[in-house]
Amino acid sequence: MTPRFIRRAREAALAYLLILPAVAAFGLFVFYPLVKTAYLGFFLAPPTPNLPSHYVGLQQYQQVLGSSDFRDSLGRTGLFVLLTVPAGIVLGLALANLAQKKVPGIRAFRTIYSSTVATSVAVASVVFFTLLNPEVGLLSYLFGKEGGNGILADPHWALPAVALVTIWQNIGFTFILMSAALQSLPEDVLEASKVDGASSFVRFRQITLPLLSPILFFAAVIGVISGFQAFGQIDLLTQGGPNHATLVLIYDLYQQAFQFNNPGYAAVLSVALFFILLLLTFAQFWFFQRRVSYGD
């Protein structure tokens, strides 16, 4: 046992001690559950947890993933993401651009535009749920749609309505992100393009956008992931209805696990969600890696 070995051993011991809490937590609450979820999918869950479960191999995976219900949930989730992410980014960018102008009082406007960052999903959803209530909601009144079932009970407009609430709630965050990005753009490049006489629109497209591409990419990735994970607003606004119009993948998961007591089915959905997100993230990285220009 050379002194060097002892020193190294002590160093390693200290290191393991330091990383122990994190690694233990990850092991118990991230990796073990991930494997266990996949494992649960191989069993038909009994009606109550005290009973034995039946092993069915891949049958449950095939049944669930091949079902039209799953395809529909996936489709709705995709639609929801399509409704929220591009619009959210465009709006955030537009507002950020708007608020870049150095007019007196712009600080107040910037505070207002970023204010929704203080709202959580629950806050935004409760506020909009009340505003959209067909009997007493202010928005229903303003748009002359009083009475009836309201927009949240309309199978065609429920999902867009939930998307709208999501966009509104995220505007603050996107605005701050885009503002910071715009402010970090190299002044000299922007000035040079102005001198060149390019119109502001062309300038924006050819110069600003490419410079912004890393942040747009970041916003897109984050947006897609959180879009797939959107749960609170659906639970508060529509509970997956009407007639499954807002039953996105994760709400389906929740219903199966906690309302129908079918953790086997829900486990299959969990695994599907995991792989879909993984795939989408990699796809985005691959798609954007050529378009995103990280300036030198």
Partner 1 sequence: MATDSARRTRRLRLAGRYLVLILAAAIVLFPIYITVVDALLSPQQVVTRPPTLFPTSPHWGTFATAFKEGNLGVYLRNSAIVTLAITVAELLTSVLAAYAFVFLRFPGRNILFVASLATLMVPFEATLIPNYQTIQKFGLFNTYPALVLPFIASGVGIFLFRQAFLGFPREIRDAARLDGCGHVKFLFRMVAPINRPVLAAFSLFAFLTSWNQYLWPLVVTQTNSVRTVQIGLRQLSLTNFNQLDVVFAGTILAALPIGVLLFVFQRQLVAGLTAGALKG
Partner 2 sequence: MTENDWDRTAGAKEGGASLGRHVISRRDLLRGATAAGIGAGLTLLVPGAASAAASKFPLGAAAKAKSKPAVITMWHSMTSANLTTLTNLTNQFNSSQSDVHVNLVAQTSYTDTLTAYTTALSGGTLPDVVQWENELIQILIDSQSVVPAASAIAADHYSFSDFVPSMVDYFKVDGTQWAMPFNISSQVLYYDQNALTKAGLDPTNPPANLAALRAAAQKIVSSGAAKYGMSLKLDYTNFELWMALGGQTFLNDNNGRSGRATAVTFDDSLGKSIFDWWGGMLKDNLAQSTSFTAFDNLLAIGSGIAPITIDTSAALGTIISVLSGGQYPNVKLGVTSLPLPTAKRSKKGGAFVGGAGLYMVKKSTPATVDASWQFIKFLASPQSQATWASGTGYVPIRKSAVNLAPLAATWAAQPGFKVAYKQLLASPPNPATAGSVTGAAPELLVAINNALTTLASGGSPESAIAQAAQNSNTAISSYNERV
What's the first-to-final CA gap in the chain, in angstroms? Answer: 50
The DSSP bridge partners found for residue 55 are: 43
The site map against partner 2 for 73-112 (x = CB under 8 A) is ----------------------------------------
Rule CB under 8 A: choose which of 2, 5, 21, 201 binds partner 1: 21
* Binding at 171: pick from partner 2, partner 1, none (beta carbon under 5-8 Å per type): partner 1
Measure Cα distances from 112 to 86, 182, 202 in Å.
22, 18, 29
Binding of partner 1 at residue 93 (CB under 8 A)?
A: no
Residues 262-291 close enough to bind partner 2 by CB under 8 A = 262, 264-265
Residue 243 in 3-state DSSP? coil
- Closest to partner 1 by CB, 34 vs 58, is 34
Applying CB under 8 A, the site for partner 1 has a residue count of 89
Q: CB of 30: closest distance to partner 1 in angstroms?
A: 5
As a whole number of angstroms, the distance between CA 204 and CA 192 comes to: 13
Q: CB of 194: closest distance to partner 1 in angstroms?
A: 16
Binding of partner 1 at residue 240 (CB under 8 A)?
A: no
Binding of partner 2 at residue 186 (CB under 8 A)?
A: no
Structure tokens at 152: 């949240």
Binding of partner 2 at residue 242 (CB under 8 A)?
A: yes
What DSSP letter does each residue of 122-156 carry, written as one string?
Answer: HHHHHHHHHHT-TTT-HHHHHTT--STT-GGG-TT
Give yes or no for a contact between 223 and 84, defined as CB atoms under 8 angstroms apart: yes
Rule CB under 8 A: choose which of 2, 5, 22, 199 binds partner 1: 22
Applying CB under 8 A, the site for partner 2 has a residue count of 32
As a whole number of angstroms, the distance between CA 224 and CA 279 comes to: 12
Residues 19-58 close enough to bind partner 2 by CB under 8 A = 44-51, 53-54
Give yes or no for a contact between 223 and 88, defined as CB atoms under 8 angstroms apart: yes
Structure tokens at 98: 């708007």
* Binding at 1: pick from partner 1, partner 2, none (beta carbon under 5-8 Å per type): none
Rule CB under 8 A: choose which of 258, 275, 282, 285 binds partner 2: 258
Going by C-alpha positions, the residue among 194, 173, 163 that lies closest to residue 82 is 163
* Binding at 78: pick from partner 1, partner 2, none (beta carbon under 5-8 Å per type): none
Give yes or no for a contact between 179 and 100, defined as CB atoms under 8 angstroms apart: yes
| Contacts with partner 2, residue ranges (CB under 8 A) | 44-51, 53-54, 134-135, 147-149, 153-156, 239, 241-244, 255, 258-262, 264-265
